[in-house]
Structure formats: structure tokens, C-alpha cells
Amino acid sequence: MSQSDDQPERQKDEQQIRHLIHTWGKATASGDLTAQLNLMTPDVTFLTPGRAPMRRDEFAAQFRRMMELATVEVGSEIQEITISGDLAVCWNLLHVSFTHIAGGETRKLVGNVLTALRKGSDGQWRIWRDANLLTPA
């Protein structure tokens, strides 16, 4: 199969990844942990500055606690998507704002995120590894 024959499949995969990133942001803002979990592989790992790698269960627990305390707004600017077989890498610029439910100033973070995704046997892309470098904006 030539590269041009593979182009429609690559475009479909890229569209699905773009949709996943958009859906992740919407699920975060709405507090929909179930939707987020559906967008991750069972062995997902999150890497953030200054802390040990975070696995799926820890992510879920922290997300639940955060949603009890704050509202969240998320914006992503996808910079690049590279796909090779059933593995993809997405680099995007992420903007996140946290506003404490009890009131107070909004805390804004911005930074680059590098996400590795795997395509499952069901044809769906899911987050496998995620490294973000968010800093105060």
C-alpha cells in the first residue's frame, strides 16, 4: 500500500485524535470523570513536574477532589499530530483556569503537553502517556 493509499485512514485517525482532545477538555470542564476514563488506556500514566508518575486510579481520585473544590475551564491548541501505526503523538498548548467554588481569584496555568496515544482493537484512540508542563500564566 502506498502512502497516498493510506491518506484517508491517516486523516480519519487525526480527526479522531482531535476529537478526543476536544472531548477531554469538555469532560474536564463538566466534571465528567466517566468520559475521561473512557478516553484513557487502562495502563495510562500522567507525568507532571515535581511529582511521581500518576496512574489511572490516582488521577480519578485527584480529579474527584478537584471538582469538589473548583470549576475548570480548558482550552487546547493542537500544534502537531504524528501517527505511526497504532501509536500517535500529539503536542498541544494547553490553557487551564481553576476557580475555587467558594470564590476567590481564578488560577490560570498554561504550557505544552505531549500525549502518546494508542489505537485499541476497537479502532478507538486513547491516551496512553501524558506529560504536561503547565506553569502559572
CATH class of this structure's domain 7-136: alpha beta
Residue 4 has what pLDDT?
Answer: 57
- Report the mean per-residue pLDDT for the chain: 95
Task: Please name the residues in contact with 33: beta carbons below 8 A apart, sequence gap of 6 or more.
Answer: 27, 60, 63, 64, 67
For residues 82, 57, 35, 85, the Cα torsion angle rounded to the nearest 10 degrees is 20
Give the E-state strand segments of 1-137 in sequence order. Answer: 40-47, 54-55, 70-84, 87-100, 106-119, 125-132, 135-136
Q: Mind listing the pLDDT tens digit for each residue in 62-74?
A: 999 999 999 999 9
Q: pLDDT band at residue 7, thresholds of 50, 70 and 90?
A: confident
> Phi then psi for 82, rounded to 5 degrees?
-120, 130
Whole-model pTM: value is 0.92
